[in-house]
Structure 1
Amino acid sequence: MKAMPPYIPKHEEMVILSGIAEIVLGIGLIFKQTQALAAWGIILLLIAVFPANIYMATSGKFKKIPQPLLWLRLPLQIILIWWAYLYTK
């Protein structure tokens, strides 16, 4: 919950909701019938959590994590979106 930017309301609820979405969408990738829809959902989820990654990299509050790793997460997010996109076809 510490990774949530302060402007996002209801941190605990959002973390729970995103965790449920990750599980459901991950299961959706297993089945051919739901794979494309699940992949689009994962793309949307990755876009939705991107502000938290930016916040972690720029807030200065995450000193235990090496700064280069925090910044590396940003382009990694783009790679994960591309990877999920491969499952939309």
Structure 2
Amino acid sequence: MKLSRYEQETIVNYNAGEQTATVYTRDKTVMRKLDTLVADFPDTYKLTGQDEISKTYSFPKSYVSYRKPRAVSIEQKERARQMMIAKNKTKGD
């Protein structure tokens, strides 16, 4: 079943009274990332449910993080751009 971009939702749910977060997703990219974590860390990440279009996972809520935006200077952007140009040139050779 093909879902629209809008329908490919991900919902993270947790509360102050429990130590576990639950993630419900219909986004294939998020599923692949969480499936890898389930395979690599089965004691921490669990697949708790699935159907044809969605999966539900659980893991410690302390693994949910909020980060401030990364500040990148113009010099850093230019350095990264030059590195990518050089890397792409070596790929073509």
TM-score (norm 2): 0.22
In terms of fraction of residues, the more helix-rich structure is 1
Give 1 or 2: higher strand fraction.
2
* Greater RCO (CA < 8 Å, at least 6 residues apart): 1
> TM-score under structure 1 normalisation?
0.22
